[in-house]
Structure 1
């Protein structure tokens, strides 16, 4: 089963907020946000397959990832939840809401739309796969290796959170990088479906990101007719990390 972390407990009758990370992320990306919800709501953060501390398994289809998350909800006896996902996790959240609408009270989607995207991470994945882990003696060397492909230090820091180190000093990727790279084109896409999720839905995009355009809204509302789109002007692709205060205000206002 997927690795997860509970912030709060499930003893109350209130539905928890389930949060899903993006490509090459982990549940740790939601740690600051989730801790900030203490006393307000229970948050369940999940590592998606082949990410974080979840099992390394074959396949990265959205239907497989939806089934994985539903299995966690079933195991924890969560009949319905509020659901939020970022980027790839946003696509998983959308598919789960479309396939199991009775289990999602409200849906939040962070900086992604229900569409296929041109592949934009292939050079990055190639650099990560090609990193000579056996020759590294420090994280600084790993950062220098990535800097040829990933120019922004913030982005490199985000990616290098996947880099673990064994007790004897050997570096390794915690995520299942070969499987992620193998299925990257599938991850960039989005399954074709005629399903509709009618409940309240909030799309939050970064004003400095190009992942969700104004022209996407009619297409979004075909599947999510109650969808609203808000922009965090100062944020890029990671509003929950880059502008946490403004992001949290939007989420709390939507969830009530």
Structure 2
């Protein structure tokens, strides 16, 4: 699948993958800072997200294959590859099957299984009838009945856009993501030893990555480091962008 991407900067290739319900827009600000340090940063939209194509196939295996296809099509050799949340699990899967990278950076996600915890978001998305709403405000009012956190609400609703015909549509494939959401939390089997450098970044206010998770991660990625960003939650790049970029650049040097 030919993925949509945004490119910024010049230099060593650096590829970035977002999380579920996200897009390349979400990480663009920090990616500009990374690019300023001498990197050519490619920020991808995963399948069924953003401006990339849609498909009934939605698994970490096919997303890792999409990533490989992108690297080949763009002649990117041994890039640094970073993935947040769902993107992090995609990068882990990629590193278990492909060798075309110099370093990997996993942001606030572990290889283990996570129980589904997006039911409120999916219910809110299902409650918005795109054929009936006439404004973003109307969609936000409906969605607020399911998602109360302001940041989370704005993050999801960023996917709502006005079509050329004057109606509304989503930049995410809501039916497929809803159907496959259990798989997004699925375990990544790490049965290959990888000796290339790896960095696992976590937020101190997030519960996604425990010390035990890191030990399991390091059992496969044997040259792995753990970096905890104080005061950051699961959205490390959004809550502590300066500290996040500093950690990324130090590891990538």
- Using structure 2 for the length normalisation, give the TM-score: 0.95
1:153 to 150, 163, 169: 150
Query: In the alignment, what sits opposite 2:215?
Result: 218
Give the number of equivalent residue pairs. 251
| Whole-angstrom distance in 1 between the partners of 2:160 and 2:194 | 37
| Whole-angstrom distance in 1 between the partners of 2:232 and 2:147 | 19
Residue 15 of structure 1 and its aligned partner are, at CA, apart by: 3.3
Query: In the alignment, what sits opposite 2:61?
Result: 63
2:88 to 87, 90, 97: 90
Gaps of 5+ in 1: none
Query: In the alignment, what sits opposite 2:8?
Result: 7
Is the contact between residue 208 and residue 236 of structure 1 (CA under 8 Å) also seen in structure 2?
A: yes
Structure 1: 4+ residue segments shifted above 4 A: none
Is the contact between residue 15 and residue 80 of structure 1 (CA under 8 Å) also seen in structure 2?
A: no
| Whole-angstrom distance in 1 between the partners of 2:153 and 2:231 | 20
| Whole-angstrom distance in 1 between the partners of 2:145 and 2:205 | 23
Query: In the alignment, what sits opposite 2:238?
Result: 241
| Whole-angstrom distance in 2 between the partners of 1:43 and 1:192 | 28
Residue 193 of structure 1 and its aligned partner are, at CA, apart by: 4.0
1:181 to 178, 182, 192: 178
Is the contact between residue 127 and residue 143 of structure 2 (CA under 8 Å) also seen in structure 1?
A: no
Secondary structure of the equivalent of 1:197? coil
Deviations along 1:49-71, whole A, 9 cap, x unmatched? 00000001121111100111111
Secondary structure of the equivalent of 2:148? coil
Alignment of 1:1-256 (within 5 A): 1-9=2-10, 14-36=11-33, 37-38=35-36, 40-100=38-98, 102-256=99-253
Residue 7 of structure 1 and its aligned partner are, at CA, apart by: 0.8
Q: Superposition RMSD on alpha carbons, in Å?
A: 1.4
Is the contact between residue 64 and residue 91 of structure 2 (CA under 8 Å) also seen in structure 1?
A: yes
| Whole-angstrom distance in 2 between the partners of 1:127 and 1:99 | 36
Gaps of 5+ in 2: none
Secondary structure of the equivalent of 2:12? coil
- Using structure 1 for the length normalisation, give the TM-score: 0.94
Is the contact between residue 81 and residue 103 of structure 1 (CA under 8 Å) also seen in structure 2?
A: yes
